[in-house]
Amino acid sequence: MPEAVAGGRVSRSADSAEKQAFFDRYWVTRDYRRTDRRTMERAQLIWSRLVRRQGTALDVGCGRGLFASFLSEQGLVVDATDISPQAVELTAQRGIHSFLMDLETQRPIGVYDLVFCLEVLQQVRDPLTVLTRLADTLAHDGELVVSVPNEFHLVRRFCILLGRPDMGDIEDSHIKFFTPERGRDLLERAGLHIRATAHTAIVPPRPRALALFGQAAASLWPSGLALSTIFFATKVRP
């Protein structure tokens, strides 16, 4: 498989090795029935809001490759990357060109019409540097799509109020806590123009009527009712 990152292979530092091991465990222990429904809900929402729907795409933090496979099925030429060898292998099995990359020490080689960074920035120490590197891979008229979790939605607040803070445990990979406002601030500090935003809701994606109600409610009160916020950004103002 050809190298597709600046600097060659993933760093063999203790930190990178620890992250690789963690996410290898992560992708073989998930409840896929729940996470896959959320992934496809987000995929359909993103596709409906894209301006550009052709050309080359990079899926950063691709996991098992479900979203990358969805993009390929829509006709995009897709590359995918992850720090987990297990995730890269699972994605490659779907027929997607995938490669290892540590976002905190490396950057992709090449230029893409679309770059997707979904539910990743909360897992890196310096989200601004990572975001800037990804923006550098965009074509002049390309689009960067970023989603970040809302760590302080209404359900989470009630849990904290009741003394049961659901903020993960020692094994949790989230090291940066986002809100919709903090996500917007990050993209603006990276010099990106936010064309549009969308929100996934804290309510389950099924049944459909409930999902549509949840999305509408999340749009009205993102900080309280959004599970995550999706930003559609460009390097320059259209």
Would you state the structure tokens that stand for residue 206, as one six-digit string? Answer: 């099924």
CB contact burial 123-134 (16+ within 10 A = b; e otherwise) = bbeebeebbebb
Instruction: For residue 16, tell me if it sits in a domain.
Output: no
19 in a structural domain? no
> How many domains does the chain fold into?
1
Let me know if residue 3 belongs to a domain: no
Task: Please write the tens of the pLDDT for every residue from 188-197.
Answer: 999 999 999 9
Q: What is the CATH number of the domain that holds 164?
A: 3.40.50.150
In a domain? residue 133: yes
> What is the span of the domain harbouring residue 124?
25-81+108-234
The answer to whether residue 183 is domain-embedded is yes
Query: Is residue 90 assigned to a domain?
Result: no
* C-alpha angle 190-60-235 in degrees, rounded to nearest 5: 30
Closest CA to 46 of 94, 96, 114: 114
Q: What percent of the chain has pLDDT over 90?
A: 56
- In-domain check, residue 4: no
Asked if the peptide bond before residue 207 counts as cis, ω within 30 degrees of 0, the response is: yes
Q: For residue 26, what are its two tokens? A: 């992560």
Higher pLDDT, 176 or 128: 128
Predicted confidence at residue 23, as pLDDT, reads 67
**Helix or strand holding residue 47 (H, E):** helix 32-49
Helix axes 66-73, 32-49, angle to 10 degrees: 40
pLDDT band with cut points at 50, 70 and 90 for residue 27 = low
Which run of H or E residues covers position 56? Answer: strand 56-60
Please give the single-letter amino acid code of residue 186: L
d(CA 152, CA 136): 31
Q: Each residue of 60-96: pLDDT tens digit? A: 999 999 999 999 999 999 999 999 888 899 999 999 9
